[in-house]
Amino acid sequence: MLRKRLNVCSVGLFLPLLLGTSLILGGCNPQKETGTNTSGDNDTLTLLYWQAPTILNPHLSTGLKDSEASRIALEPLASYDQKGELIPFLAAEVPTVENGGIAADGKSVTWTLKQDIKWSDGTPFTAADVIFTYEFLSNPEVGATSSAIYEIVDNIEAIDDYTVKVNFKKATPAWNRLFIGLSGLILPRHIYEEYNGKNVREAPANLLPIGTGPYKVVEFKPGDVVIYEPNPYFRNADNLGFKRIELKGGGDATSAARAVLQTGDADYGFNLQVEAPVLQQLETGGKGKLVTILGTLSERILINFTDPNQATAEGERSNINNPHPFLSDKQVREAFSLAIDRDTIAKQLYGITGQPTANILLLPQEFNSPNTAYEFNLEKAQNLLDQAGWKDTNNNGIRDKDGVEMKVVFQTSVNPLRQKTQEIVKQGLQSIGIGVELKSIDASIFFSGDPANNDTVEHFYADLQMFTTGNYSPDPSDYMKDYLCNEIPQKANNWVGSNYSRYCNPEYDKLWKAATQELDQKKRQDMFIKMNDILIEDFAVIPLVHRADVTAISNRLDGFELTPWDRNTWNIKDWQVK
């Protein structure tokens, strides 16, 4: 279906190394390109984010909108491009065995840094900043969302001001997990050293970051707007395309798409989770085009293995000591999965921007498991619930057992496409005797990582929740750690951790640990496929759609390039007016 629609629209299709299927949608309309910046101001770049950023320290947030806004000001040592090749940012070169950067025994990696790099306040960037970033992310009092990535490190040493050696606890094949892409954005020591602890949320740089990137933040209203101007100390400051960047938050995905594609009021629309027919119609406006990559993103439903309704003495719900009254039963979870019509969701709502999937680990292609499958079978689902002892004993249309009604709260972020997906899921679940209450939460709250807010994905005070994520490195170690037992967020750890489902499987943990130490690439591949299969076969997560990352850019914009391994603003230094 996907290929057929692509051919009809004459879309360029290519298969770069490591990426599976990638595509650029230039539009099905034959209109001549027209300029879009209706104000006539070629010096200003306007970015629309219907999910507005709330913090500009990506290590303290789980939201992609926060990391994408941060990425304009902050940089890693290197990042992967669309072809899966490492591109140096703050590094002078990519480490290899040949240049002596990667130790033959797999126990260390040495990075040579670019010299004469300065932070946006004029302070020199040195190896001390890289070492501090490691110390900051590893400090449990900070509670960094990217902390687990750095647990493989024994220590980091500065050979000199521009050479850093990372020593691992054991031989590891995944040296490229550290200081690369989103999880590797470097922080300035001189700015954060006073906030390397419990007071980290008080750091002014969380809202006005000091970075080495092409643009610096001059104004930030959380949940509303971010204003950037060129970083005068950036190494290629004279070649930057814009004198001002306005990142505007609020509204919805459809209005963001319309502003770029139809009215020409904006240059870029973020994460356009909009029904495919609507996007195609908007694109006929001729002011811009859709740019899409079928990368690593998987829209999925997470199942809560703990009881969101039972509270501890301290008032904490979804506590690991209180198992869910029915979702802790594998038969029940399988019934839920069987009642979800993935094909209808993918075809009617996503169209060419997504396809149904049975996996959560999708790329690189060699990690995409051939062993799994999904099925829509209401009769089979009903039989499983009957076998598990859940029947409608009081004839109210909802199954029950031992006085417990099989009712669920199903939550996700506010977005028309997600709300329509919720309705399809609800219809299937209700048809097998499950009561469903739908809940939608503003994305700025849902993905905020705020430990004080009960509506975040970390708290998961519901039975089911839905969102999209994927691996932002060709090495899937960080991504697959999300289901480790020690990654469960709880009140005791200030809600730090990415295992929102509270799923705990010692076999899975053992396999993940082995994969992070295995130097044989084929054996590692088999291990990660097995990890995916455990999650799918145990119905710990319900994948729905292999979702394309969909954006819109104006016809006047040049230099824009998507990669599945970083955020869309990763190469904003190259964006220019045509």
- The tokens of 408 are what? 């669920």
The residues pairing with 45 across neighbouring beta strands, listed in sequence order, are: 245
Per-residue confidence (pLDDT) for residue 160, from 0 to 100: 98
Q: Does pTM top 0.85 for this prediction? A: no
Query: Looking only at Cα atoms, what is the longest distance across the chain?
Result: 75
- The tokens of 376 are what? 């829509």
Q: Residue 245 in 3-state DSSP?
A: strand
List, in order, residues 6 or more apart from 278 with CB less than 8 Å away: 254, 257
Q: Are 532 and 361 in contact (CB under 8 A)?
A: yes
Mean pLDDT by 10 residues, the chain (578 residues): 27 31 34 40 92 92 89 98 94 96 94 98 98 96 88 95 96 90 95 97 97 98 96 96 96 93 96 90 96 93 98 95 98 98 95 93 95 98 98 96 97 94 98 98 88 94 96 90 95 92 98 90 96 98 95 97 94 96
Per-residue confidence (pLDDT) for residue 339, from 0 to 100: 98
Domain formed by 74-205, architecture:
Alpha-Beta Complex (3.90)
CATH no. of 298-470+540-547: 3.10.105.10
Per-residue confidence (pLDDT) for residue 283, from 0 to 100: 95
The Cα 116–Cα 147 span in angstroms is 29
Per-residue confidence (pLDDT) for residue 13, from 0 to 100: 26
The Cα 67–Cα 224 span in angstroms is 15
- Give the residue from 501, 555, 560 showing the smallest Cα distance to 262: 555
Q: Kindly list the domain boundaries of the chain, sorted by start residue.
A: 2-43+225-294+549-577, 74-205, 298-470+540-547
Domain formed by 2-43+225-294+549-577, architecture:
3-Layer(aba) Sandwich (3.40)
Supply φ then ψ for residue 422, to 5 degrees. -55, -40
The Cα 271–Cα 14 span in angstroms is 22
Question: Could you write out the three-class secondary structure of 291-358?
Answer: EEECCCCEEEEEECCECCCCCCCCCCCCCCCCECCCCCCHHHHHHHHHCCCHHHHHHHHHHHHEEECC
Per-residue confidence (pLDDT) for residue 21, from 0 to 100: 34
Per-residue confidence (pLDDT) for residue 61, from 0 to 100: 85
- The tokens of 533 are what? 């299969």
